[in-house]
Structure 1
Amino acid sequence: MQETSLYEPVKRFLESMDFAVKGEVGGCDMVGVRAGEPPVVVICELKLQFNLELVLQAVDRAAACDEVWLAALMSARGKGREHDRRFRALCRRLGFGLLGVSARGEVELILSPAALPPRRDPRRRSRLVEEHHRRKGDPSIGGSTRKKPIMTAYRQEALACAAAMVDGPK
């Protein structure tokens, strides 16, 4: 199983909360934006298991969004980190939400993100929102950074220009 298998179930979960979700935006596995003034921005990082690397990624992303969610596969025997009260307490103190994804693709809300005082990086946040709005559709599956080049808004625009040039001037 790969991180990309978590993308669709978690995307559906966030979309059920009225977020427009796209994968691999600004180095984040998933970015969701809910309309409003200002828009609400969530970042969700995907891993196959709850671990320190996932928490460290979330700490890095926290300044660019309103909420950070961590999503990982639930352990098969129910003895994974998602059930470790110390891990949940750490995420609660950091203000991160936890989502567990079952082998069947069902998403379980383990911990809601806490509303902590803002610690935003406005420039980074605005770059994420701008990239999210400029993309056409959802061309990249979250968690797929090593598979192939990520389809950025810039790349989409460059391909559109190249396609227009193939036809020549009219």
Structure 2
Amino acid sequence: MPNKIKESDLYQPIKNYLQCLDYEVKGEIKNCDIVAKKNEQIIIVELKLNLNITLLLQAVDRFSLSDIVYIAVPKQCSVYKKQSKQVKKLIKRLAIGLIVVDIQQDQQYVEVIFDPQDYMPRKNKRKQDALLKEFNQRVGDTQKGGSTRSKAGLTAYRQRCIRVAEFFLSQPIAKGMQINKAISEPQATRFLSDDYYGWFEKVERGTYQLSKKGKTELVEWQVKSAHLILND
């Protein structure tokens, strides 16, 4: 196994595998490492370098979002190698599926050890709706599963704020209603007033322009988002 393997190194092999099964796959949706969707079916995969209680608790918690939940670990992880039989028994009892990724220097191999068993927990409709909203609104696959939120952060919310900020490149001063009509962004006024990223500054009541920070960071995020989407 290569040195300094990261959780995000498990992402691309599993994404490729699921895409071969005709799933649309995206990483880091509402704290889920991998979300795959085909028609009405949703699969969630949690990634970890080692099998531990944190991973199992995360996986069980995901049953509020989907009936089909897997955990994925490197085939070389010590607990799986030493206690494979007991590990499989425990995971099956939790109704979770198990995927192992054999990470070699030049190639990665994905093996589904077993699929989730029949299990019908009560899903949290509100949380599932939030998961699907983020999945459907996010343009492209902009964040590797397993990467930290602070390092990536190109969520659907930020993508929408970028579109609002880009409007100011052609019209330096504008109202939220103008932006709404021009780019069909119903939350434009809220994004301006909340100013979550510090990109907008008020000129007068209801009227805004790009802040100095907004002008600087907009260029950075345009480049980053274009790169991420092109490499989807």
Q: What is the TM-score with the length of structure 1 in the denominator?
A: 0.89
Give the residue type in structure 1 aligned to 2:71: L
Map residues 5-44 of structure 1 onto 2, 5 A cutoff.
Answer: 5-35=9-39, 39-44=40-45
Asked whether 1:56 is paired with 2:60, we answer no
Report whether the alignment pairs 1:139 with 2:142. Answer: yes
Cα distance, 1:42 vs. partner?
1.2
Could you tell me which amino acid in structure 2 is paired with residue 6 of structure 1? Answer: L
* Match among 161, 165, 170 for residue 167 of structure 1: 170
Match of 1:4 in 2: 8
Cα shift at 1:54: 1.1
Give 1 or 2: higher helix fraction.
2
**Counterpart of 2:131 in 1: which secondary structure?**
helix
Report deviation, 1:140: 0.6
Counterpart in the other structure of 2:110? 107
User: Which residue number in structure 1 is paired with residue 201 of structure 2?
Assistant: none
Shift of 1:51: 2.1
Residues 84, 61 of structure 1: alpha-carbon distance in 2 compared, 3 angstrom cutoff: same
**Structure 1, 22-31 or 140-149: larger mean CA deviation:** 140-149
Equivalent position of 2:125 in the other structure: 122
- The aligned residue for residue 96 of structure 2 is 96
Partner in structure 2 of residue 84 of structure 1 = 84
Aligned-pair identity in percent equals: 37
Unpaired segments ≥5 residues, structure 2 = 173-181, 183-232
Displacement of 1:146 = 5.1
RMSD across aligned C-alpha pairs, in angstroms? 1.9
1:147 Cα deviation from its structure 2 partner: 5.2
Deviations 1:32-59 (A, max 9, x none): 1111xxx111111111122222111101
Structure 2 CA distance for aligned equivalents of residues 7 and 40 of structure 1: 20
Give the residue type in structure 2 aligned to 1:94: L
SS in 2 for 1:106: strand
Larger Rg: 2
CA distance in 1, matches of 2:121, 2:61: 14
C-alpha distance after superposition, 1:55-108 (max 9, x if no partner): 1110111111121110111117xx642652221111111111111001221101
**Aligned-residue offset at 1:17:** 2.4
Give me the TM-score of the superposition, normalised by structure 2.
0.66
Superposed displacement of residue 113, structure 1? 1.1
Native 8 Å contact 2:44 2:66 kept in 1: yes
In structure 1, stretches of 5+ residues that fail to align are none
Q: Structure 2 CA distance, aligned partners of 1:100 and 1:84?
A: 11
Moved over 3 A (4+): none
